[in-house]
Amino acid sequence: MATPLNTGTPGVRGKERLVVVGNGMAAMRTVEELLARAPWQYDITVIGAEPHPNYNRIMLSSVLAGEKVMDDIVINPRGWYDDNFVTLITGRPVTAIDPAAKTVSLDDDVLPYDKLLLGTGSKPMAPPIPGLQLPGVHAFRDIADVDAMIAASERHHRAVVIGGGLLGLEAAWGLKRRGMSVAVVHLMPTLMERQLDTTAGELLQRDLDERGIAFFTNGQTEEILGTERAEGVLLADGRQVDADLVVLAIGIRPNIDLARAAGLDVNRGLLVGDDMRTSDANIYAVGECIEHNGQVFGLVAPIWEQAKVCGARLAGDEVAVYVPPTVFTSLKITGVDVFSAGALAAADEADEEITLHDARRGVYKKMVLRDDKIVGSVLYGHVTDGPWYVQLMREKTDVSAFRDQLVFGRAFAEQAGTAAPAGIDVAAMPDSEQVCDCNGVSKGRICETIRSKDLTTLDAVRAHTKASASCGQCTGKVEAILAHLGGAVMHRADPAMCKCTDHGHDAVRHAIREQRLTSIAAVRAALGWKTPDGCQKCRPALNYYLICAWPESYRDDAQSRFVNERVHANIQKDGTFSVVPRMWGGLTTPGELRAIADAAEKYAIPTVKVTGGQRIDLLGVTKGQLPNVWADLNKAGLVSGHAYAKGLRTVKTCVGSEWCRFGTQDSTGLGVKIEQMCWGSWTPHKVKLAVSGCPRNCAEATIKDIGIVCVEAGYDVVVGGNGGMEVRVTDHLVRLASEGEVLEHVGAFLQLYREEARYLERTAPWVARVGIDYARERIVADDAGRAALHERFLLSQSQVQSDPWAQRAAGAEAHEFRVLAEVG
Amino acid sequence: MAPENGGGEADRQWIEVGCLDDIPRRGSRRVRGTDAGVPIALFRTAEDVVFALVDRCPHRAGPLSEGIVQGCAVACPLHGWVIDLASGQAEAPDEGSVPIIAVRVEDGRILISAAGLVAAHEVLARAPKAA
């Protein structure tokens, strides 16, 4: 490979040469700190062993969980190196350092340096057990590991993660999200014992257990089983866990092989002083490879601090010294809130502990106090006050005046008038203070970007700086900085729809009705839209609001529909579509199944899949095939299942009293009736229903938008559930005696949701926002109001219940399904 | 808007692909390449201006022709990147671009540049594969 080495900046000679070994977060953060202080001081060459630009290793678990892709976690793209005249060499590991000659070697090349920065990071620890070399055994450390784990999750079903610490649990959750069945083997009795006390560790295990992760605590792994590839793990007490994928996440150790071979002083890690210098005065080191005052490092906050000191020292600062900051950890598992900082428990009798433990709600808070100051905090379930506790710890605030309120959080303590100054004191915050720990963004960088790019909104600051764009914990700080610089920070009850307008959804809907606005153009004109056409956010919303407000007269605007609703099929990642015919209440017939089978064969449809909503999905249909597929399905009586719509999707049922020995009512029949009433409706977001024939609830009605649970005495109607990312169990709306009443209540609830929820707001957050009492008031207590809502729903339904597939199979919207031309 | 490396006969050659009225306002139609060529998306804005771009979002190769057209831009249906129709550039802070092809509208007939088509394919062939 003919990479030119140390080309330097053209025309600038005689500069000192800085060689950086390691292209990870610590080393590159140091280079950034250096460039910010002394952009022209060095010719800089960065050598990375991985074939990637610098990325945010902390977010690997989010990539594994499918919440982010690689592009999202790149910190310094290749262009950044060019822009800063930094030479980048990737995929070529350094093989030796010669401190006497001041050179590093890689392959056949020898590279001279004046100053050397080592950021060689860490290696995953491996237990000394047989079977580590088997295919299917992976560490969880870099992109290659994550790629291998994702690939394994696509081919295999069972995973075991060895290690129940932060990293291991995030790996387990990511694999679970990828559809694997996951077990965690942990040496200690409780999880994350370094960050959590026993109570919090047990709450965490209970929550993850409910999410389907199995635990083997007190589990010492003796051997990884298997011959051709990993088949499971054997524990010392004889327990055996079968698995096709074994992930090692028992910890990391400093990667000091190069430093040791070069004769630098090492212990557990590469030893550095307060100035980040190693035993060789020309060699500096930062990050997970170092040991400072007997400590090694795995969390990002102290490493940023090291980068700051090291960057300053390299730039010629003679006084900067490293002081370890207070560190805190949180776990990146959606919906599981854990926070920990400082001491986990009272160290002796002089220390005090304040705890709050609500086991049923899964909330636990603990402060450790010493001399009236917080020295540690463990939070579970409700962690929003974590940063406040850390601030009180860092500032060594005397909390005796408000210790009674402390455990209830900042808002409560401040309301009681006893706590220290409210809010975030932006003016007092130094420019160097790290605001966003995930993306490593300082206050200074946020201020500078806001000023130079003239940013005024949180979204814009996120887009340009990435501050608060990852875990979001620092959102309050970013907003405070924005407000401090004169930006508009709005905690509005009704936030602006999109960048095209300052009006919120509720205000726009109100104006549509009050001013009788009947087209998207009229709304934009009347409310002073800032863009001529609107955007992909507001146009579909306005189209829906107008359909809902004027069901008999509004003409749907196809060009303001998201592709799925315009084409009446679901677009897939390769641009093909999926086709899901309706099966009323989940019922089908041999004739329908034959028609589906015939269509799948005739059009060579690659995948046929049974869906979670009791339907059959035909995947990989090209756009041009759609009308023909629909025509064939129509002949067997199959119509659109609206699986693509912000509208009624499915009514899932169990077999009920017709067949089941436990069934109390005809749940299948009721499900069919509900689906016949509701199909074709457009709603703010998708709507899924279910009817269960008895409280065993086989149709899983209690995590649906609307669920009916049949009981001997009648029907329980439950609403506002969701089984997706944020699981929410339904709230009980009412118990009814007859099917007729059920239909009226379902129609009324759907219409209330249609008229009052914001576009793209599912029933779960909507019910959580307005409260179940409000829904009961409108639908249960108010008989006349309910009847009126139901009537409006039926009026709207009378306009939409016509099969869109049949229309298109007969030639409607033909241009959608034909290419305009073919060219050579 | 002349294609950059036409030369000879090719840069005077325009291919008729359809009529203005074939494309809905604020909409798009696809033109398919016959031999493994990349599809081209033709867009018609609210003001009846027509643009042609390779029908492949620079982010994850989504079909731009299925996106919502807004002003002189389109939002990709897969992940919402907004691509400027005149330049092919992604709206900041996203970065990337898609090749554009010169278009003429004469008497309601839409013509695209043959040389532009060739150039677009060459740009794509040189581009690194999407991650």
pLDDT tens-digit profile of A659-684?
Answer: 999 999 999 999 999 999 999 999 99
Question: Which chain B residue's Cα is nearest to A68?
Answer: B79
Smallest Cα–Cα separation from A214: which of A146, A167, A161?
A161
- Considering only CB atoms, B71 lies closest to which of A531, A567, A819, namely A531
What does the pLDDT read at residue A7?
Answer: 43
Contact yes or no for B62 and A464 at CB 8 A: no
Confidence tier at A429 by pLDDT (50, 70, 90): confident
What's the average model confidence in pLDDT over A636-654? 97
Q: Are strands A577-579 and A570-571 parallel, antiparallel or unpaired?
A: antiparallel
Contact yes or no for B26 and A559 at CB 8 A: yes
What does the pLDDT read at residue B38?
Answer: 78
HSE of A399 in the Cβ direction (CA atoms, 13 Å)? 29
What's the average model confidence in pLDDT over A631-645? 97
Measured between CB atoms, does B112 come within 8 Å of chain A? yes
Phi, psi of B16 (to 5 degrees): -80, 130
E strands present in A359-426:
363-370, 373-380
| Percent of chain A whose predicted confidence (pLDDT) is above 70 | 95
Smallest Cα–Cα separation from A288: which of A308, A273, A268, A274?
A268
List residues of chain A with CB under 8 Å from any CB of chain B: 69-71, 463-464, 531-536, 539-540, 558-560, 562-563, 567, 571, 573, 575, 815, 819-824
What's the average model confidence in pLDDT over B40-69? 94
Contact yes or no for B70 and A536 at CB 8 A: yes
Q: Which residues in chain B have their CB less than 8 angstroms from residue A533's CB?
A: 26, 46, 69-71
Contact yes or no for B71 and A820 at CB 8 A: no
Residues A691, A248: Cα–Cα separation, whole Å: 43
Residues A240, A744: Cα–Cα separation, whole Å: 54
Of B44, B59, B68, B101, which to mutate for an interface test with A (greatest number of A Cβ within 10 Å)?
B68
Contact yes or no for B68 and A539 at CB 8 A: yes
What's the average model confidence in pLDDT over A293-322? 90
Longest dimension (CA), chain A: 91
Residues A514, A377: Cα–Cα separation, whole Å: 52
Residues A327, A569: Cα–Cα separation, whole Å: 49
Contact yes or no for A819 and B40 at CB 8 A: no
- Considering only CB atoms, B68 lies closest to which of A70, A532, A560, namely A560
Please report the DSSP string for A202-217 in residue order. HHHHHHHHHTTEEEE-
* DSSP structural state of residue A24: S
Residue with the two structure tokens 């306002």: B25
Burial of A516 by CB count in 10 Å (0-12 exposed, 13-18 middle, 19+ buried)? exposed
Q: Which residues in chain A have their CB less than 8 angstroms from residue B22's CB?
A: 815, 820
Contact yes or no for A559 and B27 at CB 8 A: yes
Residue A109 in contact with residue A67, Cβ under 8 Å? Answer: no
State pTM to two decimals. 0.53
Confidence tier at A594 by pLDDT (50, 70, 90): very high
Residues B78, B99: Cα–Cα separation, whole Å: 19
What does the pLDDT read at residue A341?
Answer: 87
Measured between CB atoms, does B63 come within 8 Å of chain A? yes
ipTM value for the complex: 0.87
Residues A757, A452: Cα–Cα separation, whole Å: 38
A731's CB contacts (< 8 A; 6+ apart) are A718, A719, A720, A767, A772, A775
Q: Which residues in chain A have their CB less than 8 angstroms from residue B41's CB?
A: none
Residues A316, A341: Cα–Cα separation, whole Å: 34
Which of A459-468, A485-494, B31-40 reaches the highest mean pLDDT?
A: A459-468
Nearest Cα of chain B lies from the Cα of A474 at a distance, in angstroms, of: 21
Phi, psi of B125 (to 5 degrees): -65, -35
Residues A772, A333: Cα–Cα separation, whole Å: 28
Contact yes or no for B24 and A540 at CB 8 A: no
Residue A219 in contact with residue A227, Cβ under 8 Å? Answer: no
Smallest Cα–Cα separation from A808: which of A621, A641, A638, A627?
A627
The amino acid present at B16, given as its one-letter code, is: E
A30-39, A140-149, A247-256, A488-497: the lowest-pLDDT one: A488-497
Confidence tier at B130 by pLDDT (50, 70, 90): very low
What's the average model confidence in pLDDT over A496-504? 88
pLDDT tens column, A699-751: 999 999 999 999 998 999 999 999 987 789 999 999 999 999 999 999 999 99
Nearest Cα of chain A lies from the Cα of B67 at a distance, in angstroms, of: 7
What does the pLDDT read at residue A451?
Answer: 85
Confidence tier at A13 by pLDDT (50, 70, 90): low
Smallest Cα–Cα separation from A569: which of A624, A527, A511?
A624
For residue A96, pLDDT beyond 70? yes
Nearest Cα of chain A lies from the Cα of B35 at a distance, in angstroms, of: 7
Q: Which residues in chain A have their CB less than 8 angstroms from residue B46's CB?
A: 532-533
| Percent of chain B whose predicted confidence (pLDDT) is above 90 | 62
Question: Which chain B residue's Cα is nearest to A465?
Answer: B93
What does the pLDDT read at residue B127?
Answer: 64
| Percent of chain A whose predicted confidence (pLDDT) is above 90 | 62
On average, the pLDDT of chain A sits at: 89
What's the average model confidence in pLDDT over A292-318? 90
For residue A312, pLDDT beyond 80? yes
For residues A44 and A485, which has the higher predicted lDDT (pLDDT)? A44
Confidence tier at A491 by pLDDT (50, 70, 90): very low
Give the containing element (helix H, strand E) for A234: strand A232-235
The amino acid present at A536, given as its one-letter code, is: Q
E strands present in A83-231:
86-90, 96-98, 103-106, 109-112, 115-118, 122-124, 137-139, 158-162, 181-185, 213-216, 221-225
Measured between CB atoms, does B33 come within 8 Å of chain A? yes
Confidence tier at A689 by pLDDT (50, 70, 90): very high
Nearest Cα of chain B lies from the Cα of A501 at a distance, in angstroms, of: 15
Give the containing element (helix H, strand E) for A513: helix A505-514
Residues A339, A166: Cα–Cα separation, whole Å: 11
Of A559, A576, A626, which to mutate for an interface test with B (greatest number of B Cβ within 10 Å)?
A559
Residues B28, A59: Cα–Cα separation, whole Å: 37
Measured between CB atoms, does B78 come within 8 Å of chain A? yes
Measured between CB atoms, does B25 come within 8 Å of chain A? yes
Question: Which chain A residue's Cα is nearest to B63?
Answer: A575
Confidence tier at A387 by pLDDT (50, 70, 90): confident
Nearest Cα of chain A lies from the Cα of B18 at a distance, in angstroms, of: 7
Please confirm whether the linkage preceding A77 is cis (ω < 30° from 0). Answer: no
Between A and B, how many CB-CB pairs are < 8 A? 96
**Angle, vertex CA A520, rays to CA A505 and CA A762, nearest 5:** 35
Contact yes or no for A534 and B70 at CB 8 A: yes
The amino acid present at A340, given as its one-letter code, is: S
For residue A357, pLDDT beyond 90? no
Residue A60 in contact with residue A149, Cβ under 8 Å? Answer: no
For residues A430 and A33, which has the higher predicted lDDT (pLDDT)? A33
What does the pLDDT read at residue B34?
Answer: 62
Q: Which two tokens stand for residue A751?
A: 């219409």
Total residue length of chain B: 131
A50-54, A277-281, A603-607, B2-6: the lowest-pLDDT one: B2-6
Q: Dihedral, CA atoms, A487, A489, A494, A497, nearest 10 degrees?
A: 40
Q: Which residues in chain A have their CB less than 8 angstroms from residue B35's CB?
A: 824
Confidence tier at A471 by pLDDT (50, 70, 90): low
Strand partners, B31: A821, B40
Contact yes or no for A820 and B25 at CB 8 A: no
Q: For chain B, report the end-to-end CA distance as a whole number of angstroms.
A: 30
Residues A421, A423: Cα–Cα separation, whole Å: 7
What does the pLDDT read at residue A767?
Answer: 93
Strand partners, A308: none
Of A78, A500, A531, A563, which to mutate for an interface test with B (greatest number of B Cβ within 10 Å)?
A563
For residue B35, pLDDT beyond 80? no
What's the average model confidence in pLDDT over A488-517? 80
